[in-house]
Structure 1
Amino acid sequence: MKMHGFLCFSFSRIFSRKGSRSSSSNNSSDAKSRMSNSDQDSQVKSGGTDASARHRFDEQGRRYHNRPDAAYMLPNDDEEIDRVHMQHWVIKIAFQGNFHAPVEQQLEDGIVVLDGGCGPGTWSLEMAENFPRSKFYGVDISGVFPSEIKPANCDFQVHNVSQPLPFAPSYFDYVFQRMLVLGIMREEWDTVLSNYMEVLKPGGWLELTEVNIPDSVNAGPKLTILMETLGEVAAQKGLQPGVSSELGKKLKKAGAINIHCRRIEVPMHHDGKLGSLLWEDFVTAFRGLIKPFVTKKHPELEDDAVYLKFVEDAGKECEEYQNYIIFYRAFGQKPTTST
């Protein structure tokens, strides 16, 4: 596995910042600092436009999208970028690779690839280094990807994948998307896949990877409360938390053929580093995003310290019950013109 420059820095930064992610964010000076840094970062990436018009901040200083076409539930600040970088390694290790569509030889020879909803671009950056003859394009609703420190064969631009893509029809040989279960509205999934199929060449491959929410394997009572609440919040916002098990059906509806689906179970908070990293991935949502909804049903958890202890105990419960989180990966091929 090659991991140079930007990727090495990003992965090491995850662990250097881990302590700050695990601690409470009630310190007002820390919150103000994050707000100031996020505003400044946003202005650099967007040419100096007013960041306050495009973002909102919660009481802990976490930055979120503030645009009507952005369904993404989670923050889009530096802390979230670190989480998504970490999530990349979780998924790669769990699936034993960055992709499963039969495109490796094509990537070696040189093809054009789209990374939809790329976030900070971790997947594209690594793939661009591993396959220097191929060209990688990443699009995301937020410009949190690198603009300068990146491989020459990798480019990014801000775009919402639920809108028609800014590329010519039949432009890409391979389209990849993952972990947008909390970023695509229920009624937009078919549109998003249709957009991908439009820019995919006949014979090209479309690959999707998603986590299952709220169901998992061997969930204890505390984790069940947290996962079910996360699913309920997502559904209330118009998202489709259970979409992962339907990826194959959605690819078929979009017109894909030769569809393959894979289901895996990944340990949460046990079985070594992978389980620990997966817990860190989920705990961001557990600690902040869903707290008001959990405490509405369970007012005894209203106090911050009590709630954080509940989340911590849910993690210990994962180890006790040997909990596993379910992921799905599916890929399919666009028919050739002669099909």
Structure 2
Amino acid sequence: MKNTKKAIEAFSTYLQKKEHTIPWVLLLGEKGSGKTTLLYYLLSSNRDKVFPDTALNWIDISYGADWFKLIDLGKEILIDDNVIEYFLSIADGIVYVINGESEESLKESTEQFHSIVDRIPSDVPLLVMINKRDPERKVNLSQVLSNYDLGRISSPTDPRSFHFEICTIMTGEGIYRAFDWFISKLMSYEGYHEMVSVHRVLIYDVNGLLDFDAQFSSITDSEQDAVLITGLLSALNSMTRTLFKDSSFLDVVTVGDYSMVLVSSKQKICCLFVERGGAIGKAKQIAEMILDIYLEEGEKGRLAIENIVEESKHKDEDLSI
């Protein structure tokens, strides 16, 4: 339990220092359900720091253009009701993984499932994933609905955003279908898209040479290293657009504490350094506007670019120039 207490203390300290600017998702499930496999599946295309203490992990994950913080609770924490109540109170969404390996394992999971689901606020979207390790195994849907009483999770008298998916996490079957639904519900709250903190604006030519640089915060060593990386990425980005007929595969790159958002137009590439986990969609909109200004006015547009960045810090702003 010492490791558990340390993990929770570390998380509490983290909460005091970090703004709640992206949704927080709680990942739950019994040991052997496949939730750790799901975690690494989601991380496969965007590696992030994973804390070694298995009692508690919190990881920033990107899904398409959206980001969310995944909080993974280990078995040691799940036995403490007070701790569970705390995490349920701060979560914006819940993913619950059920072991669907056999009929027996499905029956064994019902008690813990209901003990947790009954305490989830009705306005929090819930994704239930029934994980079968064998893709060929047939799951008795009517039995699952009956055993887990899934029909009552969302009802006219107690409506909630709820979805369940029978999947094979090891192969990825069903994951994207499930998370497409989940992310759409999770991101429906516009507050998560309101603010972008831009630290730096860089504009490169197609060869990766820097044409424009505007800084909006003190430069860290990691940021300086990332500037060199973005020059290479800009040149490589141009090559991919040429090879793949304008389809860019390097529009968002995360390094250290920053996400680098790149947009391209007329042989120029604009890169924004934004805080990791920021609203990528809005960042792209800002980058496009900045690049339009630079292409039209060059260095003379610096003041207008600075104004655009300043506007992006405010909530409920309709960006316009």
TM-score, reference length from structure 1: 0.28
Which has more radius of gyration?
2
Q: Which has the higher contact order (CA 8 A, sep 6+)?
A: 1
Structure with more helix by fraction: 1
